[in-house]
Amino acid sequence: MADSQVEIVEGCRLPVLRKNQENEDEWPLAEILSVKEITGRKVYYVHYIDFNKRLDEWVTPDRLDLKKLQFPKKEAKTPTKNGLSGSRPNSPERDVKRKVEPVSLVTQVSPATPVASLPASTETTQASVYPLVRDAGFTPKSAAGRAEAREDHEQLATLATNGTARRLIPSQPGRKRKASCLGTDEIIKVFQNINPRCPSVFLPPGEDSQDSSDGIPSAPRMTGSLVSDRSHDDIITRMKNIDCIELGRHRLKPWYFSPYPQELTALPILYLCEFCLKYLKSLKCLQRHLTKCNLRHPPGNEIYRKGTISFFEIDGRKNKMYSQNLCLLAKCFLDHKTLYYDTDPFLFYVMTEYDSKGFHIVGYFSKEKESTEDYNVACILTLPPYQRRGYGKLLIEFSYELSKVEGKTGTPEKPLSDLGLLSYRSYWSQTILEILMNPKSDTGERPQITINEISEITSVKKEDVISTLQYLNLINYYKGQYILTLSEDIVDGHERAMQKRHLRIDPKCLHFTPKDWSKRGKW
């Protein structure tokens, strides 16, 4: 398909060929985020709509289905100009608050409902949403254009999954509203629920939207390590900038942008020292570096060792170089991680696996020395080569072991990523089911337990316990009271999962004394 007739510009949407996990061809709708020319041939950076950003990639023109090309809507903000637009909208809460009236009145389809949702209803909602959303920029011409576009959508919707269909609505506000999975009433409730609980995750909308709309750059909040406010995003941070990272034995394909020195982003491979994580531009430099770097483990105190698994604690203030290097690496795989501020208020717990060459980094989590929000984890990452092997859960388990030593309940900083959510849910489910399956009913009576008790035993924050119980559908209302019921499926599933879970943290191997950082002055 020649792209000579039509110019594909940023913001265009069209189906793009990609292989799924079964190595089958599929043509998900994608948005062009950037165009560049390599040796006279154009390549396009595409974001597959409704797919995670980590799958964004540079594609050649032959993978584009130009027949179904949609040009960017005039009134839609172009992604290049504004970080808010396109596939990375803001959190729906903020959006709802910003345009309170028109939005909140619309009944919405819940996208949270599982896959087999109805595309037809999606379309109708769209229609009802549109007029309300479009205000000033509504012209007859653009209306016509949209109508055509919608026809396209309908055609596409038949072959696309529900998620894709929903995403077809090109305008940002409309789509965002779609995205919020709750009805009006629920939204308000969510606000009441969420805000007191985790204020830092969902920033006070007023201030933030003001800041961004005024064009006055505002520094992000200084606590935490994650950004939920993407108003500082721009096209640069939406695109991966490092092609490949070589770390020890592994080559890693970064998922997200990371602020490594800009001159290094053009390199085909960025070399990292496996132990100090220093970034180097060439293999030669790495070789030279390794003659000088005698580290064979993360430069911190080993606070846990069992078998080949060790944990090292690194103070973000005392060991800035390593902490920064670690953060840069982690940013490649954590979308919401922010490196805006220094690493001083964080501790880094690096999990390593030992072999004859040394202690190899597997993953890490960071933790605020003092968290005002009961966070016991700021960022958490299993490096891709070690993923899906139980290390993530091990990291999570370790984080809760630390909380147990501290005598606190904790929760990970929000927002969670998709993988984070799955991992945590999995950990919570297994942890809670472990307790429920082995009830301590000494007296032979019906075992019973409070949520607070679960929380205390596991150090999992109460809200997370409830959400897990809900998710597992254990809470039932029976004869005037709430009960917890364990279905056979659940029990079987749990037992199977626990059999597969070899890696566990042994609290006896943990040598950790929590410090009262509040008495230490500055972090």
Partner 1 sequence: MSKLSFRARALDASKPLPVFRCEDLPDLHEYASINRAVPQMPTGMEKEEESEHHLQRAISAQQVYGEKRDNMVIPVPEAGSNIAYYESLYPGEFKMPKQLIHIQPFSLDAEQPDYDMDSEDEAFVNKLKKKMEITPLQFEEMIDRLEKGSGQQEAKLLLKEDDDLIREAYEYWIRKRTSCQGSSLIPVVKQEKRDGSSTNDPYVAFRRRTEKMQTRKNRKNDEASYEKMLKLRRDLSRAVTILEMIKRREKSKRELLHLTLEIIEKRYSIADFGGEIMAEVLAQRQLLKPTYTLPIIPLSNSNQFKHQDHMELKEYRPNKPEKTEVRTKRKYEKKPKVLPLSTAAASLQTSPAALPVFNAKDLNQYDFPSSDEESFPQIHSGSSEAEEENDPDGPFAFRRKAGCHYYACRSDQTGNWPWCSPEEGGLADVRYRYCLTTLTVPRRCVGFARRRIGRGGRVLLDRAHTDYDSVFHRLDPEMLASPQYSPIDKFASTSETNTSDRNPPRDLSQILLNIKSCRWRHFRPRTLLLYNTENTEVSSRKLYRGFSRTASAQPGTQAGGTSLQDRSGARSTPIVAFTAEQYQQHQQQLALMQKQQLAQIQQQQANSVSATNSSQGLASKTLDSISAQFAASALVTTEQLMAFKAKEDVVLGIGVNGILQASGVYKGLHLTSSSPTALVHTSQSSTVGSTFLQPSNNTQTSSSQSALSHHGTAANSTTQVLIGNSIRLNVPSSVAAVNSIATLNTRHIPRTINAVPASALKLATTTNCQMPKVTASSSMDIVPRENLDKDKPALSSIADNTVAMEVT
Task: Tell me the closest approach of the beta carbon of residue 420 to partner 1, in angstroms.
Answer: 8
**Does residue number 483 form part of the binding site for partner 1 (CB under 8 A)?**
yes
Task: Tell me the closest approach of the beta carbon of residue 297 to partner 1, in angstroms.
Answer: 6
Residue whose CB is less far from partner 1, 141 or 519: 519
Q: Which of 17, 181, 405, 457 is the binder for partner 1 (CB under 8 A)?
A: 181
Q: Which of 4, 5, 39, 262 is the binder for partner 1 (CB under 8 A)?
A: 262
Among the listed ranges 4-12, 60-68, 140-148, 188-196, the one in contact with partner 1 (CB under 8 A) is: 188-196
Task: Tell me the closest approach of the beta carbon of residue 122 to partner 1, in angstroms.
Answer: 12
365-386: burial string, b at 16+ Cβ within 10 Å, e else: bbbbbebebbbbbbbbbbbbeb
Binding positions for partner 1, 388-417, rule CB under 8 A? 388, 412, 414-417
Contacts with partner 1, 42-81, as mask; x by CB under 8 A: --------xxx-xx-x------------------------
Greatest pairwise CA separation for the chain in angstroms: 81
Task: Tell me the closest approach of the beta carbon of residue 2 to partner 1, in angstroms.
Answer: 29
**Does residue number 184 form part of the binding site for partner 1 (CB under 8 A)?**
no
Q: Is 471 helix (H, G, I), strand (E, B) or coil?
A: helix
Q: Cβ atoms within 10 A of the Cβ of 310, count?
A: 20
- With 0-12 CB in 10 A as exposed, 13-18 as middle and 19+ as buried, what is 124? exposed
Rounded Cα–Cα distance for residues 347 and 336 (Å): 18
Q: Which of 79, 119, 345, 363 is the binder for partner 1 (CB under 8 A)?
A: 345
Least Cα distance to 393 among 431, 361, 355, 436 occurs for 431
Rounded Cα–Cα distance for residues 170 and 153 (Å): 10
Residue whose CB is less far from partner 1, 71 or 341: 341
Task: Tell me the closest approach of the beta carbon of residue 171 to partner 1, in angstroms.
Answer: 14
Q: Which of 204, 353, 408, 498 is the binder for partner 1 (CB under 8 A)?
A: 204
Backbone phi, psi, residue 430, to 5°? -65, -40
**Does residue number 164 form part of the binding site for partner 1 (CB under 8 A)?**
yes
Rounded Cα–Cα distance for residues 164 and 159 (Å): 9
Binding positions for partner 1, 116-145, rule CB under 8 A? none
Take residue 209 and report the two structure tokens written for it: 């939207």
Rounded Cα–Cα distance for residues 337 and 227 (Å): 6
Binding positions for partner 1, 433-472, rule CB under 8 A? 436, 439, 446-452, 455, 462-463, 466-467, 470
Q: Cβ atoms within 10 A of the Cβ of 430, count?
A: 17
Size of the site for partner 1 (CB under 8 A): 166
**Does residue number 372 form part of the binding site for partner 1 (CB under 8 A)?**
yes
Q: Which of 27, 45, 130, 257 is the binder for partner 1 (CB under 8 A)?
A: 257
Q: Which of 139, 155, 158, 287 is the binder for partner 1 (CB under 8 A)?
A: 287
Q: Cβ atoms within 10 A of the Cβ of 150, count?
A: 18
- Please answer whether residues 377 and 339 qualify as being in contact, where contact means their C-beta atoms are separated by less than 8 angstroms: no
Rounded Cα–Cα distance for residues 75 and 174 (Å): 12
Residue whose CB is less far from partner 1, 24 or 141: 24
- Give the distance, in angstroms, between the CA of residue 472 and the centroid of all CA atoms in the same chain: 22
Residue whose CB is less far from partner 1, 1 or 251: 251
Integer CA distances (angstroms), 77 to 9, 251, 303, in order: 13, 36, 50
Least Cα distance to 310 among 514, 510, 513 occurs for 510
**Does residue number 507 form part of the binding site for partner 1 (CB under 8 A)?**
no
Residue whose CB is less far from partner 1, 7 or 418: 418
- Please answer whether residues 354 and 326 qualify as being in contact, where contact means their C-beta atoms are separated by less than 8 angstroms: no
Q: Which of 4, 39, 107, 356 is the binder for partner 1 (CB under 8 A)?
A: 356
- With 0-12 CB in 10 A as exposed, 13-18 as middle and 19+ as buried, what is 248? middle
Binding positions for partner 1, 293-322, rule CB under 8 A? 293-297, 299-303, 305, 310, 312, 315, 318-320
Beta strand 13-15 pairing with 250-252: unpaired
Residue whose CB is less far from partner 1, 65 or 344: 344
Binding positions for partner 1, 89-118, rule CB under 8 A? 89, 91-93, 111-112, 114-115
Residue whose CB is less far from partner 1, 80 or 228: 228
Task: Tell me the closest approach of the beta carbon of residue 236 to partner 1, in angstroms.
Answer: 5
Residue whose CB is less far from partner 1, 408 or 462: 462
- Please answer whether residues 32 and 10 qualify as being in contact, where contact means their C-beta atoms are separated by less than 8 angstroms: yes
Task: Tell me the closest approach of the beta carbon of residue 4 to partner 1, in angstroms.
Answer: 31
Residue 299, preceding bond cis, omega within 30 degrees? no
Task: Tell me the closest approach of the beta carbon of residue 246 to partner 1, in angstroms.
Answer: 7
Residue whose CB is less far from partner 1, 4 or 438: 438
Active site residues: 413
Rounded Cα–Cα distance for residues 457 and 30 (Å): 46
Binding positions for partner 1, 485-504, rule CB under 8 A? 485-493, 496-497
Binding positions for partner 1, 266-285, rule CB under 8 A? 274, 279-285
Rounded Cα–Cα distance for residues 150 and 180 (Å): 21
Task: Tell me the closest approach of the beta carbon of residue 450 to partner 1, in angstroms.
Answer: 5
Integer CA distances (angstroms), 9 to 2, 45, 86, 142, in order: 14, 11, 14, 18
Q: Which of 67, 479, 502, 519 is the binder for partner 1 (CB under 8 A)?
A: 479
Task: Tell me the closest approach of the beta carbon of residue 496 to partner 1, in angstroms.
Answer: 6
Residue whose CB is less far from partner 1, 145 or 248: 248
Integer CA distances (angstroms), 378 to 74, 245, 366, 369, in order: 39, 23, 5, 10
